[in-house]
């Protein structure tokens, strides 16, 4: 009709950019916890998965939710991917591209279909909805075992294969996992002495075994979050803000983009690439055998330490990995 001159096509209006929301938790609002805060910074800079274990009230959930605020805005390509996934799921409430990394936090009662995708092969689950963002799994041992084991492929490959009667689809699921866990069902094991724990020893053992060894081996940072002394809780903000730490994260990611390309963070480095990008100083090279023995690292764990050390060096603006970088990475990986 337009080409025949009977009517005039109205040009589409450009969507106004979405207003960026403030981070759900600011690091400065978390009292103490300097080591876990550093671990969250490393996870954000290199795209590493992190598991925070500790008693209730120690700040694990706040730390996990603070991670998304450290991530830089999405690139145009990533924004198109994220917006497409959310559009397919029917979650867009206004026009325009999503420009911030998503944060998804499903309850531990979520079904495996709700987590990985259900109904039909094109319907994304929580894993896909967290693509290019953060997936928070609070109280990780409470999740269904099948749900946790279904995470293995996306944790390592950044995608998930859904097999349904209509066929098999490969959906994007490249996210940072931020998981939390109590040390036992009552949460008091190790909190001021095991005498406070009311759980039987075999109950604690079964509870901790809900997180399998292969699953834990795919998580680069595993650390304990100790409770903060009550007298430290009231008062002003503590430490650097999310905005300040996010600048270092952005600089570290820029260094990775120059070295490896814009779409490959350190956590996704292939084994063959580690030798190319992980140049060690002499002191670091001599430390490797002792570090491997001290933390009883598997092959995947050994490579995980090098990926973490590469990220730590990037955060500090160093080209070569030092012994201090390797020691810090080993403490995160071997906790």
SS3 category, 163? strand
**C-alpha–C-alpha distance, residues 74 and 26, integer Å:** 19
Residue-wise pLDDT for 118-151, tens only, equals 666 567 899 999 999 999 999 999 999 999 988 9
The model's pTM: 0.89
Distance of CA 110 to the CA centre of its chain: 19
Residue-wise pLDDT for 183-216, tens only, equals 888 887 765 555 578 888 898 889 989 998 889 8
For the chain, the residue count is 335
**Tokens representing residue 219 in the block:** 């998580």
**Tokens representing residue 313 in the block:** 């060096």
Is 202 buried (19+), middle (13-18) or exposed (0-12) by CB count in 10 A?
exposed
**Tokens representing residue 22 in the block:** 């403030």
Residue 262 has pLDDT above 70, yes or no: yes
Contact call for residues 288 and 306 (beta carbons, < 8 A): no
The whole-number pLDDT of residue 38 equals 95
Residue-wise pLDDT for 31-56, tens only, equals 888 999 999 999 999 999 999 999 88
């Amino acid at each position: 009709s337009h080409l025949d001159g009977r009517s005039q096509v109205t040009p589409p209006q450009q969507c106004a950019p979405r207003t960026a929301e403030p981070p759900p938790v600011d690091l400065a609002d978390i009292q103490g916890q300097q080591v876990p805060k550093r671990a969250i910074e490393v996870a954000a800079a290199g795209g590493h998965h992190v598991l925070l274990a500790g008693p209730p009230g120690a700040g694990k959930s706040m730390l996990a939710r603070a991670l998304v605020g450290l991530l830089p805005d999405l690139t145009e390509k990533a924004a198109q991917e994220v917006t497409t996934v959310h559009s397919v799921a029917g979650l867009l409430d206004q026009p325009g591209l999503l420009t911030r990394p998503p944060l998804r936090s499903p309850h531990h009662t979520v079904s495996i279909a709700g987590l990985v995708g259900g109904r039909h092969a094109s319907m994304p689950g929580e894993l896909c909805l967290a693509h290019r963002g953060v997936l928070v799994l609070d109280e990780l041992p409470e999740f269904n075992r099948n749900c946790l084991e279904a995470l293995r492929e996306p944790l390592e490959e950044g995608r998930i294969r859904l097999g349904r009667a209509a066929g098999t689809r490969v959906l994007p699921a490249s996210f940072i996992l931020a998981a939390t866990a109590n040390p036992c069902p009552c949460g008091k094991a190790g909190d001021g002495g095991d005498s406070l724990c009311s759980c039987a020893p075999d109950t604690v053992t079964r509870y901790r075994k809900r997180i399998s060894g292969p699953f834990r081996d795919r998580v680069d940072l595993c650390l304990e979050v100790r409770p903060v002394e009550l007298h430290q809780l009231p008062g002003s903000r503590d430490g650097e803000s999310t905005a300040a730490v996010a600048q270092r994260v952005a600089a570290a990611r820029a260094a990775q983009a120059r070295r490896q390309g814009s779409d490959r963070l350190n956590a996704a480095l292939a084994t063959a690439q580690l030798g190319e990008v992980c140049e060690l100083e002499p002191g670091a090279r001599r430390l490797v055998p002792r570090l491997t023995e001290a933390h009883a690292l598997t092959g995947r764990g050994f490579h995980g330490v090098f990926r973490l050390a590469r990220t730590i060096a990037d955060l500090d603006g160093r080209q070569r990995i030092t012994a201090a970088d390797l020691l810090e990475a080993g403490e995160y990986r071997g906790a």
